[in-house]
Amino acid sequence: MSEVYIVIAALIALIIWSNLYRVLRKPGDRRKTPWWNQPAPDAVRRAADVESLGLAPALRAARARRAKAFNRDSFSSSSPSSSSFPTEVRMNPISALIFVVFLGGAALSFVTRMPIGLSIALALIGIFLGYSVKMAQQWERAVILRLGKLHAVKGPGLFILIPIIDAVATWIDQRIRTSEFSAEQALTRDTVPVNVDAIVFWMVHDAERAALEIADYNSAVQRVAQTSLREMIGSSVLSELLSERKEADRTLKDVIGAKTVEWGVTVNSVEIRDVAIPANLQDAMSRQAQAEREKQARVILGSAEEEVAQKFVNAAKLYASSPEALQLRAMNIIYETTKERGATILMPSSMVDAMNPGAAAFALNMARIDDQRPTAAPPPASVPPAGGG
Please report the pLDDT score of residue 80 as a whole number: 39
Mean pLDDT, residues 192-209 = 92
Instruction: Measure the N-to-C terminal CA separation of the chain; round to a whole number of Å.
Output: 192
Please give the Cα distance from 181 to 226 (Å, whole number).
6
Lowest mean pLDDT among 25-39, 74-88, 109-123, 253-267: 74-88
Query: In this predicted model, which residue has the larger pLDDT, 37 or 314?
Result: 314
Domain covering 177-277 assigned CATH 3.40.50.620 in the classification:
no
Residue 377 gets which letter from DSSP?
Answer: P
Yes or no: say if 64 and 72 are a contact pair by the CB < 8 Å rule: no
Mean pLDDT, residues 352-379 = 58
The predicted model scores a pTM of 0.55
Mean pLDDT, residues 232-248 = 88
Q: What is the pLDDT of residues 35-87, one digit of tens each?
A: 445 555 665 555 555 455 555 565 566 666 655 544 444 333 333 333 444 44
Please report the pLDDT score of residue 175 as a whole number: 94
Please report the pLDDT score of residue 82 as a whole number: 38
Please give the Cα distance from 264 to 260 (Å, whole number).
7
Examine the pLDDT at 198 and tell me if it is beyond 90. yes
Mean pLDDT, residues 230-246 = 88
Burial of 141 (0-12, 13-18, 19+ CB in 10 A): buried
As a whole number, the mean pLDDT across the chain is 75
Residue 215 gets which letter from DSSP?
Answer: S
